[in-house]
Structure 1
Amino acid sequence: MEINIASGLLAALGHESRLAIFRLLVEAGPDGINASGIGEKMGMAPATLSFHLSHLSRVGLIEGKREHRFIHYSANFAVMDELIAFLTRNCCQGIGCLPKSFACNTPEGTSSQHGETC
């Protein structure tokens, strides 16, 4: 991923509403949520929601698929994974520096990298 692409993605996520929408869609998984469902959960006016969805779509963080009268939006997990990989590439010179606080957020409470108990 080029730095200008990453900076555009991060800029899009730098707005509180867009970050909240993106997190909601990540939580929803590949099936996503239709626009009205997103609006209800976010408590957002349709015009405002449309503006933010359009911005997230334009940078490639989300995808919309028309199903009859509705548009279902879902996170673009491939782009999210590329962004995370870009941000963590060469982290700690490649020696494995997963912070303990991150490791403790796993369902098992252990670091998947080192097997340490939190």
Structure 2
Amino acid sequence: GGGVSPVNMDAVLHLISEDIYIDIKFLSWSNGNDSPGGGFSYERSTDPTSSTAEIEPGIYVTLYPNPAQQAVRIMGLESPEAMRYQIYNTMGAVAQSGLFSPQASIDIANLPKGVYYFRIGDYQLA
């Protein structure tokens, strides 16, 4: 059918439930004429290796690496004191919690693969 092809067009994907914007360019698009379903390939122009959040006006913290398998670090926290953290799964259950020093990493090796949300003190990071 007619319509405009998304191939080679710069676009922004908005994941509404997470309020995340991703800059992408579709490289190919198929509608499944020869088989059930369809598919696409894409190029992502936003950095997928970290998650940055503005915790107060003008104060940003970055959680990296993202995705991670063993440990994550949080850059941008100036507190010399240990801070409380919670890691939530997508169902909202606490998967891990504890105290961490902003200069240290948080061990996540025991968490199953998945999407998690971090809360540090009163601030939430995806």
TM-score higher than 0.5: no
Higher relative contact order (CA 8 A, sep 6+): 1
The structure with more helix, counted as a fraction of residues:
1
**Which TM-score bucket, shorter chain as reference?**
under 0.3
- TM-score between the two structures when normalised by the length of structure 2: 0.26
Q: Which has the larger radius of gyration?
A: 2
- TM-score between the two structures when normalised by the length of structure 1: 0.27
